[in-house]
Amino acid sequence: MDLSVLIPTFGRPDKVAACAQRLADQTLDIGRYEVLIGIDGGSDDPTAARKVEKTVRARWPAAHATNLTIVPCPKVGQAAVRNVLLDRAGGSTLVFLNDDMLPTPALLEHHLQHQQDAAAQGAPALIVGASPWVVPEHDTLFDRLVRETSMVFFYDQMDEALGESRVDRDHDWGFRHAWLLNLSAPAALVRDVGAFSVFPSTYGYEDDEFAFRCRERFGTRVLYRADTVAHHDHRLTPRGYLDRERRLGFAAWGFAGMAPACAREMFGRDIRRDDEITYSGEFVERERHNAERLRVTFEDFANLPGDGVPSRDHPAGLPVARALAQQHLLLKRWEWRRGLLEAARAEALHPAEA
């Protein structure tokens, strides 16, 4: 098997089925790859697991049923589910996707070719593909800001740097850009580095820490290939976005405890120091009023039409979008600090459980 696609899923049978349907219709011959789907919590809820399997197989060609494996897992989080699938994967190249991705027809062919090119150069790499957000039917200003700026990912900056020739095609983007929603790696590399770490809070950081270990042990580069496209069918709301930041702050505490070197490089400091937690408590209290004031205007972005500011093609379009996105940064930091503080206090109150 040339290639294995690994997809964890939880509670979204239609999303993962749409992803599988796109994977069944690739330019790469279907006999050369397999798709493995791990159902997080599926072994705890057999009814939900059967629904996922029925929905996915209805969109997968029966003639290639053996190329699709669906594995019910305990509720252990994405990293642990990916490790379960890794044990079953037979491909020499691994492609990691989120369950809400819509692969373009040449996605797997491009991942495989880019991995082969890197191997030919004697420098195995993590290949990050492009993951543009799906444009919703009723596009809002908030949708546009998420899509066109670095509020969540940094594709806009990567595309801009390449388009302006500020970096070359083989620029190493570093471990912070190794997003598992659309990434490939040599299977031997993933196994040699020890697969994915499972942190106390199972939301976030496992992809960054995995890429960090690859760099530290093998000097692995993170390369971006804009022609390797899977669209991201995940519509965020302002509240969902802010909840994501709080969850990332909460998860950062356990992540920094288990992977301190990676966390220090990512955050530029030791976020578990006593003075850091003291500062977080002071910041959350001091900026509470300003954060709540910003929250009102930030949530209004979801009520404004997407064409309310100049388009990206207009000379003023991108600067205006970035300025609007940056106005909420204090609120974003406040939510992250609040999550970090909650995790630190929870561990102090219940160290054995933590």
- pLDDT score recorded for residue 307: 80
Two tokens, residue 81? 């589910």
Q: Does residue 324 surpass a pLDDT of 90?
A: no
What pLDDT score was predicted for residue 203?
87
Residue found under tokens 């659309």: 182
Radius of gyration of the chain (CA): 21
The whole-model pTM stands at: 0.94
pLDDT (0 to 100) of residue 314: 64
Q: Please, which pLDDT band fits residue 350 given cuts at 50, 70 and 90?
A: low
pLDDT of residue 225: 98
User: What CA–CA distance (Å, rounded) separates 148 from 318?
Assistant: 7
Q: Taking residues 156-181, what's their average pLDDT?
A: 96
Three-state DSSP at 261 gives: helix
Is pLDDT above 60 for 354? Answer: no
Structure tokens at 325: 């996105």
109 versus 324: which is more confidently predicted?
109
What number is the average pLDDT over the span 231-260? 97
> What local confidence, expressed as pLDDT, does residue 306 receive?
83
pLDDT number for residue 318: 73
Name the more confident of 313 and 49.
Answer: 49
CA-based nearest residue to 35, from 50, 22, 54:
22
Helix, strand or coil for residue 130?
Answer: strand
**Are β-strands 221-232 and 125-130 bridged in parallel, bridged antiparallel, or unpaired?**
parallel
Half-sphere exposure of 266 (CA within 13 A, CB side): 26
pLDDT for the residue 316: 61
Whose CA is closest to 32, among 61, 5, 60?
A: 5
Question: Please, which pLDDT band fits residue 323 given cuts at 50, 70 and 90?
Answer: confident
Residue 177 near residue 154, CB atoms below 8 Å = yes
What pLDDT digit, counting tens, does each position of 256-300 carry?
Answer: 999 999 999 999 999 999 999 999 999 999 999 999 999 999 999
Q: What is the pLDDT of residue 320?
A: 79
Q: Tokens for 337?
A: 């600090």
E strand intervals along the chain:
3-9, 33-40, 68-73, 93-97, 101-103, 125-130, 182-186, 221-232
> Looking at the chain, how many residues does it have?
354
pLDDT tens-place string over residues 64-86: 999 999 999 999 999 999 999 99
Q: How many whole angstroms separate alpha carbon 127 and alpha carbon 130?
A: 10
Give the pLDDT confidence score for residue 353 in this predicted structure: 59
- Taking only the tens place, the pLDDT of each residue in 122-148 is 999 999 999 999 999 999 999 999 999
| Residue-range domain boundaries for the chain | 3-236, 240-349
Distance from C-alpha of 62 to C-alpha of 49, rounded to nearest angstrom: 19
Quick one: tokens of 200? Answer: 């106390």
- The pLDDT of 52-62, averaged and rounded, is 96
Q: Out of 3.90.550.10, 3.40.50.2300, 2.30.40.10, 3.30.70.890, which CATH number does the structure's domain 3-236 have?
A: 3.90.550.10
Residues 6+ apart with CB under 8 A from 264: 256, 270
Q: What is the pLDDT of residue 313?
A: 67
Residue in this structure with the two tokens 């994405």, named with its chain if needed = 78
